[in-house]
């Protein structure tokens, strides 16, 4: 991997984060007609409004406001929450940890299930197995998280009484209980991704299996198994990295809903609470952190892909 | 508009669509969706707002096909009315995003060079904010309403549609018939509209159809979170949210709207796949 | 001589929803040890399908209707799949058309050589790797050790094909099937490959089946030639005889269509006319640095599409441009039609042009271009009539004709039925589409038509009709042609002069007749030596 390629990708990440922060700032702070009135209400006194405006820096030109804000962010200061006066970054970091745990488990589950499903569907294309997987995928990809969660809770917590309905137990406190509380949320979050990724994997694998070099490998006398494992999988799964990385964005959105339903104190739920309370700094901080996470994930995926496929850099 | 658009006419596409299982099922569900949106209120057996203390928490029965909710309102009737909000608003958001995105993407693809690169990098950056979070952002500052939710979804979808439109436009741009037009000295407007656009329309429509499914789910999710349609609108996602409290007593209150969302979303997904196969005449794999 | 490969009365069908398609019918031939049998056919003849059928690689809907395929007496049709798999690549091998497409891009060349050797030679990994390096050295590849570690995209087409051939031979095959092995390579690499093939064949005595569409080439490579037409063998004979005394009607048509340098189709040797086009010091630069590269100030060396080109054409002249891919020949075409910016001076019909911006409508009318791929050069969403109407609307109708009349006339001139005007491109064959493209060019009443490899994607018999049409149109209208191609035999038949290009440079311009006598540049000479001419009976296949 050349230094030039790395630099190029890094510059892109920086640019992306810049645009993201600009968007977050613009939407939350510039759009509302008068944030001060919104926050203090119609009946606030003019002096109070003026004081709040000055405090929030609303009387300054837009680009200056953005500059100040960005500077603060880069120094790790995401502002203080309007609800409890605590620094936003601090309270969000803990929550982020819990969300990442949920996200990580979901990602792992998804990879373990979706990839084999996709490969099987591709290799057994047109046969009953393929059709069944296709049907399940259509269903899986069309169920919003809150519907899936409802059904799962109904089944596992209500009817069969196997798992707890909601709640969160830190793994450090009680590993088994913590795990039990994680199962349903993980299943919910990963279901859509499993459906989507398995179809993508199937489609990629089918494309690979129809290439000339796979045919050539077979005609050179290599066994079906060898051709699949050594040639087809390598090339077919490589794009999976990109697909999964893109789906992480969807994952992060899904986490918000799932944390709300299952009452998990992650960053998603914090965000929703902030939105309900119109806590601007917390909203900004939450979205920024999540978007930045997504950027980093995509960056890592890009590098991994480039490392594994040397051709990309020369394209 | 002539009936024929190129390689085959509408009738052929239609038949081909209905020949595949996805296309058939998708079309049927689409038909159902249209009926719901157009005639929903007329078909409702009960007044969706009618509160009846005596009929609360009734399970699905012959009288109330899908049961009643905590206020005794007939769920089927509420679903039929709510279809308008859920389906048509999602379709609206997707269509708007498709038009804007297609314009942006095609122009960028045609112009090429640095403008194209800068625009695409910026759109990629915008796409770094997951759709739901983007919608959250917009709704939290503009206020909670179904209109703002539609706006949020539209803006969130534009970059994705623009990217698709651009890649299709680039593929069309590379074809020699575009080169032939340039060599003839045709104007840019002619080339984009008459040479490129007819070849771009099909893949974009396929993508938009699939996106509608996603829009429906997103809209319902926003309403579920209280950020989209507001009570007492019978929007499906909102119905699920309100029904959460009564989940263990009357699970059908949550299940029915949830299933409705799922069925319509599945329908659009199937339709999109069916359209993709039907519009691609050389799609037969050897 | 006992046959190594024997195909006896073999027939193959494809089961389609509309009925059975007879792909191969009563195929009957044999190949002995050390012998090369050529299999020649155009697209749709079934030649590739036959090759795959011998390798027992059949489509899901293929039905073998009858006959047998035997290797050393063993009937392959009766063999269990497992045994067939051990045969493939070992006793029965295949060399494919495009070495770039038949190698896995994510594995190194060495890995792909080793896996075949371990499979068929019972060697361990290290021994196989060592053998691989030795094989590469045997086929004269520079630095075998480094080449083994390279990835396919880091080696040239000729190098890869040599690796593949060496590997196939190393597995001690009894019979090898060559499926158009040189089609994707440049002429000079092709000649080298064929020499390598001859040498290895003589060393090992392998029986070879050589499949190709190029009759001239096959006649020089094979001992005997089978001509395949729509699934049937219509003629089987020695290469020289096929050319001098073909028996079957189809073969006769095919032989007549094959370009040969000594079969002039144009009676004139020099174009005597006023100068039409003058190009001086034309330079085309490819590769715009991207935004980020400019930011990082990285020096991306621009690749030159064409360097300092200088040439001139007279009215009504046919100037050929010959070169391999990457030679820059298409670049000239793009520059002259305003598809790519250039520096230098172009003077056309007295008007000076320095860039695409200066090309007036009049210029664009007089200079028309026809592209290589008929599928891509006609908008699939427009009818033939709509396609032909564009130049008429842009440049004006000829006096006294309505648009419909003009379109009908154009179709007649290119020998297409008038009712094609309402059809869509996908309803036409490749040759017919190309004729529409020609009609479109002539709708403008041009003075120069640039033909950019316009017959490269067509079968040789279709190519012959298109060339004949072009020459007829020139007789009628006095148009000049800038004919770009990689087929030296073809251009020697129809051009007044030929310009030779290599890697962006114009090497020399020679008269088409007696080209060999005037050729001075070593590349031109190498090209002339490498291009195969059809074998005549008087010549034997010697060891030249």
ipTM: 0.83
In this predicted structure, what is the pLDDT of residue B11? 73
Interfacial A residues in 255-314 facing B (CB < 8 Å):
256-257, 260-261, 271-272, 275-276, 278, 283, 287, 290-291, 294-295, 298
Nearest chain C CA: its distance from B39 CA (Å): 37
Name which of A209, A213, A228 to mutate to probe chain C: the one with the most chain C Cβ atoms within 10 A of its Cβ: A213
Per-residue pLDDT tens over the stretch C470-492 = 999 999 999 999 999 999 999 99
* Rounded Cα–Cα distance for residues C255 and C233 (Å): 15
Which of B31-45, C40-54, C257-271 is the most confident on average? C40-54
Look over chain A and give the mean of its residue pLDDT values, rounded to a whole number: 84
Per-residue pLDDT tens over the stretch C106-147 = 889 999 999 999 999 888 999 999 999 999 998 889 899 999
In this predicted structure, what is the pLDDT of residue C287? 64
Interchain contact B117–C (C-beta under 8 A): yes
Sign of the alpha-carbon torsion through A36, A96, B132, B223: negative
* Rounded Cα–Cα distance for residues C460 and C451 (Å): 17
Phi, psi of C313 (to 5 degrees): -135, 145
Window from B1-15, B118-132, C314-328 with minimum mean pLDDT = B1-15
In this predicted structure, what is the pLDDT of residue C298? 56
Query: Is residue B229 predicted with pLDDT exceeding 90?
Result: no
Query: Is residue A59 predicted with pLDDT exceeding 80?
Result: no
Query: Is residue A32 predicted with pLDDT exceeding 60?
Result: no
CA nearest neighbour of C264 among C329, C320, C188: C320
Neighbours of chain B (3+ CB pairs under 8 A): A, C
Per-residue pLDDT tens over the stretch C28-72 = 999 999 999 999 999 889 999 999 999 999 888 899 998 999 999
In this predicted structure, what is the pLDDT of residue A33? 54
Per-residue pLDDT tens over the stretch C144-193 = 999 999 989 889 889 999 999 999 999 989 999 999 999 888 888 899 99
Band (pLDDT 50/70/90 cuts) for residue C507 is: very high
* Rounded Cα–Cα distance for residues A120 and A107 (Å): 20
Calculate ∠ Cα C208-C209-C214, nearest 5°: 125
Neighbours of chain C (3+ CB pairs under 8 A): A, B
Per-residue pLDDT tens over the stretch B97-115 = 999 998 888 888 888 788 8
* Rounded Cα–Cα distance for residues B117 and B123 (Å): 10
Interchain contact B198–C (C-beta under 8 A): yes
- Is the separation of the CB atoms in C223 and C35 below 8 Å? yes
Per-residue pLDDT tens over the stretch A87-117 = 778 888 888 888 999 999 999 999 999 999 9
B240–A290: do the CB atoms touch at under 8 Å? no
- Is the separation of the CB atoms in C396 and C361 below 8 Å? no
- Is the separation of the CB atoms in A258 and A113 below 8 Å? no
Mean pLDDT across the stretch C434-448?
A: 95
Query: Is residue C238 predicted with pLDDT exceeding 90?
Result: no
Query: Is residue B6 predicted with pLDDT exceeding 50?
Result: no
- Is the separation of the CB atoms in A109 and A117 below 8 Å? no
Nearest chain B CA: its distance from A16 CA (Å): 4
Nearest to C338 among B183, B198, B281 (CB): B183
Interchain contact B25–A (C-beta under 8 A): no
Nearest chain C CA: its distance from A71 CA (Å): 24
Band (pLDDT 50/70/90 cuts) for residue C500 is: very high
CA nearest neighbour of A231 among C103, C214, C369: C103
CA nearest neighbour of C487 among C264, C44, C187: C187
Interfacial A residues in 143-172 facing B (CB < 8 Å):
143-147, 150-151, 153-154, 158
Window from C27-41, C232-246, C311-325 with minimum mean pLDDT = C232-246
B185–C391: do the CB atoms touch at under 8 Å? no
Angle subtended by helix axes C384-395 and B176-184, to nearest 10: 20
Query: Is residue B37 predicted with pLDDT exceeding 60?
Result: yes
Nearest chain A CA: its distance from C352 CA (Å): 38
In this predicted structure, what is the pLDDT of residue B283? 36
For residue C103, the chain A residues in CB contact (below 8 A) are 213, 216
Nearest chain A CA: its distance from C149 CA (Å): 13
Nearest to A150 among B127, B220, B254 (CB): B254
For residue C93, the chain A residues in CB contact (below 8 A) are 220
In this predicted structure, what is the pLDDT of residue A35? 59
C376–B195: do the CB atoms touch at under 8 Å? no
Size of interface A-C (CB pairs under 8 A): 75
* Rounded Cα–Cα distance for residues B221 and A193 (Å): 16
Per-residue pLDDT tens over the stretch A229-267 = 888 888 888 888 888 998 898 899 899 999 998 988 899
Instruction: Name the pTM for this structure.
Output: 0.84
Nearest to A260 among B225, B237, B254 (CB): B225
Closest-CA residue of chain B to C333: B183
Nearest chain B CA: its distance from A122 CA (Å): 13
Window from A51-65, A87-101, B241-255, C386-400 with minimum mean pLDDT = A51-65
Interfacial B residues in 146-205 facing A (CB < 8 Å):
none
Beta strands C497-502; C343-348: pairing state: unpaired
* Rounded Cα–Cα distance for residues C450 and B245 (Å): 76
Indicate the length of chain C as a whole number: 544
């Amino acid at each position: 991997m050349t230094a030039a390629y790395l630099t190029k990708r890094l510059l892109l990440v920086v640019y992306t984060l810049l645009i993201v922060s600009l968007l977050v700032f613009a939407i939350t702070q510039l759009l509302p007609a008068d944030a001060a009135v919104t926050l203090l209400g119609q009946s606030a006194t003019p002096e109070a409004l003026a004081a709040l405006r000055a405090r929030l820096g609303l009387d300054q030109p837009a680009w200056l406001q953005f500059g100040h804000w960005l500077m603060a962010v880069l120094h790790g200061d995401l502002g203080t929450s309007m609800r409890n006066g605590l620094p936003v970054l601090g309270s969000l970091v803990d929550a982020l940890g819990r969300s990442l745990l949920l996200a990580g488990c979901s990602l792992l589950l998804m990879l373990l299930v979706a990839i084999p499903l996709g490969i099987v569907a591709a290799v057994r294309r047109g046969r009953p197995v393929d059709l069944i997987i296709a049907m399940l995928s259509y269903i899986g990809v069309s169920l919003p998280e809150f519907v899936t969660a409802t059904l799962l809770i109904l089944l596992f917590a209500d009817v069969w009484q196997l798992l707890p309905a909601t709640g969160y137990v830190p793994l450090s406190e009680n590993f088994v209980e913590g795990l039990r509380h994680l199962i349903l949320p993980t299943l919910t979050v990963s279901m859509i991704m499993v459906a989507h990724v398995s179809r993508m994997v199937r489609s990629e694998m089918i494309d690979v299996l129809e290439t000339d070099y796979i045919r050539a490998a077979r005609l050179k006398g290599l066994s079906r198994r060898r051709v699949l494992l050594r040639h087809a999988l390598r090339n077919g799964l490589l794009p999976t990295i990109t697909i999964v990385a893109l789906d992480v964005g969807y994952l992060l959105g899904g986490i918000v809903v799932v944390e709300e339903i299952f009452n998990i104190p992650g960053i998603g739920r914090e965000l929703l609470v902030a939105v309900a309370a119109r806590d601007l700094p917390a909203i900004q901080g939450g979205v920024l952190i999540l978007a930045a996470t997504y950027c980093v994930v995509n960056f890592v995926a890009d590098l991994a892909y480039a490392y594994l496929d040397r051709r990309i850099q020369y394209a | 508009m002539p009936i024929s658009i190129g390689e085959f006419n509408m009738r052929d596409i239609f038949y081909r669509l209905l020949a595949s299982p996805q296309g058939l099922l998708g079309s049927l569900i689409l038909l159902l969706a249209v009926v719901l949106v157009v005639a929903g209120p007329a078909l409702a057996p009960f007044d969706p707002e009618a509160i009846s203390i005596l009929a609360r928490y009734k399970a699905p029965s012959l009288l109330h096909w899908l049961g009643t909710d905590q206020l005794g309102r007939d769920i089927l009737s509420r679903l039929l009315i709510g279809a308008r909000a859920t389906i048509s608003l999602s379709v609206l958001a997707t269509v708007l995003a498709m038009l804007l995105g297609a314009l942006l993407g095609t122009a960028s693809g045609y112009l090429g060079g640095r403008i194209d690169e800068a625009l695409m990098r910026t759109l990629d950056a915008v796409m770094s904010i997951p759709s739901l979070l983007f919608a959250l952002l917009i709704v939290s500052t503009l206020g909670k309403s179904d209109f703002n939710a539609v706006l949020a979804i539209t803006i969130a979808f534009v970059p994705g549609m623009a990217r698709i439109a651009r890649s299709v436009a680039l593929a069309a741009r590379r074809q020699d018939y575009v080169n032939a037009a340039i060599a003839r000295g045709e104007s840019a407007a002619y080339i984009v509209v008459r040479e490129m656009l007819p070849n771009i329309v099909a893949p974009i429509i396929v993508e938009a159809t699939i996106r509608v499914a996603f829009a429906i789910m997103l809209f319902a999710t926003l309403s579920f979170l209280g950020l989209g349609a507001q009570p007492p609108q019978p929007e499906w996602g909102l119905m699920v949210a309100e029904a959460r409290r009564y989940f263990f007593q009357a699970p059908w209150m949550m299940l029915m709207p949830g299933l409705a969302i799922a069925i319509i979303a599945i329908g659009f997904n199937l339709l999109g796949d069916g359209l993709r196969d039907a519009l691609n005449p050389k799609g037969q794999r050897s | 001589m006992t046959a190594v490969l024997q195909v006896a009365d073999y027939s193959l069908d494809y089961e389609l929803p509309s009925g059975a398609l007879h792909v191969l019918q009563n195929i009957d031939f044999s190949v002995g040890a050390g012998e090369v049998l050529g299999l020649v056919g155009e697209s749709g003849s079934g030649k590739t399908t036959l090759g795959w059928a011998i390798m027992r690689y059949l489509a899901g809907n293929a039905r073998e209707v009858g006959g047998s395929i035997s290797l050393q007496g063993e009937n392959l049709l009766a063999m269990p799949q497992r045994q067939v798999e051990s045969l493939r690549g070992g006793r029965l091998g295949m060399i494919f058309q495009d070495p770039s497409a038949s190698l896995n891009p994510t594995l190194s060349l060495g890995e792909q050589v080793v896996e075949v050797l371990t499979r068929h030679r019972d060697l361990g990994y290290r021994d196989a790797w060592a053998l691989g390096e030795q094989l590469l050295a045997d086929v004269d590849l520079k630095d075998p050790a480094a080449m083994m570690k390279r990835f396919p995209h880091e080696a040239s087409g000729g190098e890869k094909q040599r690796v593949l051939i060496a590997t196939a031979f190393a597995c001690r095959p009894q019979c090898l099937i060559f499926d158009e092995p040189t089609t994707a390579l440049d002429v000079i690499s092709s000649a080298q490959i064929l020499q390598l093939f001859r040498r290895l064949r003589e060393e090992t005595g392998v029986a070879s089946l050589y499949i190709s569409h190029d009759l001239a080439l096959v006649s020089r490579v094979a001992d005997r030639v089978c001509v395949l037409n729509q699934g049937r063998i219509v003629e089987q004979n020695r290469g020289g005889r096929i050319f001098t005394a073909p028996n079957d009607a189809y073969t006769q048509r095919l032989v007549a269509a094959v370009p040969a340098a000594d079969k002039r189709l144009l009676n004139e040797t020099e174009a005597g006319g006023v100068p039409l086009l003058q190009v001086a010091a034309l330079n085309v630069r490819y590769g715009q640095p991207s935004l980020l590269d400019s930011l990082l100030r990285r020096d991306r060396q621009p690749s030159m599409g064409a360097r300092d080109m200088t040439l001139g054409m007279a009215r009504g002249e046919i100037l050929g441009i010959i070169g391999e891919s990457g030679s820059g020949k298409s670049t000239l075409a793009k520059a002259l039609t305003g598809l790519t910016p250039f520096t230098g001076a172009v003077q056309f019909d007295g008007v000076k042009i320095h860039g695409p911006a200066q090309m007036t409508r009049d210029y664009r009318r007089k200079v028309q271009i026809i592209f290589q791929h008929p599928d891509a050069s006609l908008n699939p969403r427009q009818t033939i009539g709509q396609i032909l109407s564009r130049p008429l609307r842009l440049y004006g109708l000829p006096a006294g004709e309505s648009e419909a009349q003009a379109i009908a006339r154009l179709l007649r001139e290119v020998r297409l039925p008038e009712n094609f005007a309402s059809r869509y491109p996908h309803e036409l064959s490749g040759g017919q589409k190309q004729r529409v493209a020609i009609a479109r060019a002539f709708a403008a009443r041009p003075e120069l038509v640039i033909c950019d490899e316009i017959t490269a994607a067509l079968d040789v018999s279709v190519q012959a009709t298109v060339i004949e049409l072009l020459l007829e149109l020139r007789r009628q209208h006095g148009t000049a042609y800038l004919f770009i191609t990689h087929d030296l035999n073809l251009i020697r038949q129809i051009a007044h002069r030929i310009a030779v290009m290599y890697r962006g440079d114009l090497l020399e311009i020679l008269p088409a007749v007696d080209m060999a006598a005037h050729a001075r540049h070593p590349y031109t000479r190498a090209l002339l030596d490498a291009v195969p001419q059809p074998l005549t009976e008087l010549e034997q296949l010697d060891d030249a």
